[in-house]
Chain A
Amino acid sequence: MVFKKKFTAGIALAALMTGLAACSGGEEATTEGGEGGAEKITIFQTKVEISDQLEAAAETYTEETGVEVEVIGTTGDDYFQQLQIRLNNGTGPSIMSVQNATVAESLQSYLHDLSDEEFVSNIAPDMALTLEDKVVGIPYGVEGFGIIYNKDLVNPEDIQDYESFVSTLEKFNAEGINGYALSSEAYFLIGHMINYPFSIQEEPIEFMDSLSAGEVTMAETEEFLRFGEYMEAIRANTPSPLSTSYDQQVGDFAAGKTAMIHQGNWAWGLLQDFEVDFEVGMAPFPLEGNDKLAVGVGSNWAVNSDKEPEEIQAATDFLEWLHTSETGKRIIVEDFGFVPAMTNIEANDLDPLSQAILEASNSGETIPWSHNYFPANLVLNDFAPAAEKFFVNEEMTSEEFITNLDAAWQNAIK
């Protein structure tokens, strides 16, 4: 009996120790600003690409003003969940990202009204994030996506329509080059691609409304069926995007192993990290004769209204500094590589991808970002699993795929 007791106690202790060890890895809570005005603000934002640059900017700001800026690291896809956790447990950041109007609506009680700030008037027409006529978000910048191609390998004339697109894929497949790479992250797998059939509708938002109302389905809409055929051709002629991460996708492209990727101008920073040594171009995805890039606002800076007035003021000051001071403007254009959506910031020396976006944007030859109007979290929750199912089941037809997308949409709005 004694043996048993000792033994059991020993095991229980061992189990307890591991339990405790597992708990100790928790994150420290962010500390509130000191007495007498905020001396510290926190930023939690969604764009992985500018993390390092933002930290550097924060340091510069601290040097100039003495206000400490803490940048909380982000992982990208689950940003909204993480933000929600932080807001609920009281460790919410002073400055956060709000992706679009759908998100702004659910977070509205946390969004500080920025309408009265002077620098807000510099936001380019129709680019501000508004909620009931109040400006609640300042656009990061104009962004756009399309087919990024290697000019040594691809001639844009060869991806003008379905037939030429498919034959280009087949040609690369025969040569052992990945013709067209997506990647496994929800937005890069389907979120951006699915824009095209929506955005080339005459009235994308009205189309979405009638989709929600059950008046139309994707499966009976021509553009979506064509889109399905493209996806089928991509599945048939390229390695599975599910085994590729964003980094690998861009890395393989920079190494010349992939001829085309579907990405946006934000990928330039990563391409530079991989020391891309050939000319890169951006072409529209040729669905149903589409010849325009998809351009929109990727995310917006917003100030958390659930903070002390001093901290709100300090956060607003930081945004003002970022968007009006010479240093701040330089950071936005050069370090972040954003195509500015502010009229007081000039964009010079843009990288080739951003240049393509800016030109498209200035000429008005663009299609909108429909995914900004999707039901909340639709891409992550429902579209991504549907797309994964399509990519792992080689025998699934494009019609079945589109039908699954219809079901996904209905599931998201119920």
Chain B
Amino acid sequence: MDVANKKNIGWYLIFTLPLLIIFTIIVVIPFVIGIYYAFFEWDGINANPKVFVGMENFLTLFSDDRFLRSTWLTVLFTVLSVISVNVVGLAFALLVTSKLKLGNLARTMFFMPYLIGGLILGYIWQFVFLDVFTFVGELLGLESIFFNWLLNENFALFALVFVFTWQMAGYVMIVYIAGIQGIPGELIEASKVDGASKWQRLMRITFPLLMPAFTISLFLTLSYGFKIYDVNLSLTGGGPANATELFAMNIYNEIFGYGNYGYGQAKAILFFVIIAAITLTQVYLTKKREVDM
């Protein structure tokens, strides 16, 4: 190892150590403690007894109807959101990079919802569904489409997907814009010279070269979708009648609503395993298809 490399190690440490320490304190340690609690029956109040129950918490999971329903809802929500967020986000990106006059303004506006934050967004949209939707419904006579989605057990989940898309589309748009702008102009020009149509250029050049952006966007929306809590809390609160109680909220309710700390932790561990498995698979699959330049 030469001198320059040794110097580099020093720099690496300066930059990574603080992060490593923070990560250990707020992620690793609570995570390990959480695994420990998952084997106990405990109500979450420090002074009250913890009873060791072994694997029982994990076994109960699979016969817990409310939990299984919540799992299914989360999967449904995530699948729908990943599709809608990425389609809308990509469409936005293509739109604002297409020499549009108001490109920069549009870019800012599309990104804005992401800056508002899930909680406030949820409350704003609660108002939109309650007042604006019903108003539009009455105005256009389309009461079967425009009614308060939040009070319908089947539509409330779509309302959640809708708001989540509204929030996240601008964010993945930025990722796609970065990708699109990274595509060298020569390639596009060369393809024009060769007589490729717009569609061919999109499918044969833009999309393959966007693969890294796809990886990141899909990864982001997939894990964000799975972990969603803030929009869920403020928009529907899990209601009506637990019809939109997603994974994270189910865990919260188990721990703080029913006071089953240990059982809730068991759910959280399973939650982690599922998210880790899905996102790792997804990253692996998309990486394989990336085109190196």
Residues of A bordering B, CB below 8 Å: 1, 3-4, 7-8, 10-11, 14-15, 23, 78, 80-81, 84-85, 87-88, 106-107, 109-110, 240, 242-243, 376-377, 380-381, 385-386, 388-389, 391-393
Check: B44 CB closer than 8 A to any chain A CB: yes
Q: Can you list 18 contacts pairing A with B, beta carbon distance less than 8 Å?
A: A3-B293, A4-B292, A8-B212, A10-B178, A11-B175, A14-B174, A23-B26, A81-B257, A84-B44, A84-B45, A88-B44, A88-B45, A110-B47, A243-B130, A243-B150, A377-B258, A389-B241, A392-B153
Given contacts A1-B293, A7-B212, contact A385 B151 (CB under 8 A): no
Minimum Cβ distance to chain B for residue A4 (Å): 6
Q: In the complex, what distance in Å separates the CA atom of A14 from the CA atom of B47?
A: 42
Given contacts A3-B293, A7-B179, contact A381 B253 (CB under 8 A): yes
Minimum Cβ distance to chain B for residue A47 (Å): 20
> By the criterion of a CB under 8 Å from any partner CB, how many residues of chain B are at the interface?
34
Residues of B bordering A, CB below 8 Å: 26, 43-48, 130, 148, 150-153, 174-175, 178-179, 182, 212-213, 216, 220, 239-242, 253, 256-259, 290, 292-293
Minimum Cβ distance to chain A for residue B72 (Å): 17
Given contacts A3-B293, A15-B220, A377-B257, contact A243 B239 (CB under 8 A): no
Partner of B239, one of A84, A242, A376: A242
**B151 touching A1, Cβ below 8 Å:** no
**B253 touching A392, Cβ below 8 Å:** no
Partner of B45, one of A107, A243, A388, A393: A107
Minimum Cβ distance to chain A for residue B73 (Å): 14
Given contacts A3-B182, A84-B256, A377-B258, contact A392 B45 (CB under 8 A): no
Q: Would you list the 5 A-B pairs with minimal beta carbon distance, nearest first?
A: A109-B47, A389-B241, A81-B256, A388-B241, A388-B240
Q: Which residues of the other chain, A, contact B179 by a CB distance below 8 angstroms?
A: 7
Given contacts A88-B44, A106-B45, contact A381 B257 (CB under 8 A): yes
Q: In the complex, what distance in Å separates the CA atom of A388 from the CA atom of B48?
A: 33
Q: In the complex, what distance in Å separates the CA atom of A3 from the CA atom of B43?
A: 52
Q: Can you add 13 more A-B contacts, CB < 8 Å, to A377-B258, A388-B241?
A: A3-B293, A4-B292, A7-B178, A7-B182, A11-B216, A14-B174, A81-B256, A88-B46, A106-B48, A243-B148, A376-B259, A391-B240, A393-B153
Which residue of the partner chain A has the closest CB to B215?
A: A8
Minimum Cβ distance to chain A for residue B200 (Å): 23
Q: In the complex, what distance in Å separates the CA atom of A4 from the CA atom of B212?
A: 8
**A87 touching B45, Cβ below 8 Å:** yes
**B43 touching A106, Cβ below 8 Å:** yes
**B151 touching A243, Cβ below 8 Å:** yes
Q: Which residues of the other chain, B, contact A243 by a CB distance below 8 angstroms?
A: 130, 148, 150-151
Minimum Cβ distance to chain A for residue B157 (Å): 13
Q: In the complex, what distance in Å separates the CA atom of A374 from the CA atom of B244?
A: 26
**B240 touching A242, Cβ below 8 Å:** yes
Partner of B258, one of A14, A381, A393: A381
Minimum Cβ distance to chain A for residue B221 (Å): 12
Q: Which residues of the other chain, B, contact A81 by a CB distance below 8 angstroms?
A: 256-257
Q: Which residues of the other chain, B, contact A392 by a CB distance below 8 angstroms?
A: 151-153, 240-241
Q: Which residues of the other chain, B, contact A7 by a CB distance below 8 angstroms?
A: 178-179, 182, 212
Partner of B293, one of A4, A87, A106, A110: A4
Which residue of the partner chain A has the closest CB to B179?
A: A7
Which residue of the partner chain A has the closest CB to B219?
A: A15
Minimum Cβ distance to chain A for residue B50 (Å): 13
Q: Which residues of the other chain, A, contact B153 by a CB distance below 8 angstroms?
A: 389, 392-393
Q: In the complex, what distance in Å separates the CA atom of A386 from the CA atom of B239?
A: 10
Minimum Cβ distance to chain B for residue A257 (Å): 15
Q: In the complex, what distance in Å separates the CA atom of A128 from the CA atom of B162?
A: 50
Which residue of the partner chain B has the closest CB to A85?
A: B256
Which residue of the partner chain B has the closest CB to A248?
A: B130
Minimum Cβ distance to chain B for residue A410 (Å): 13
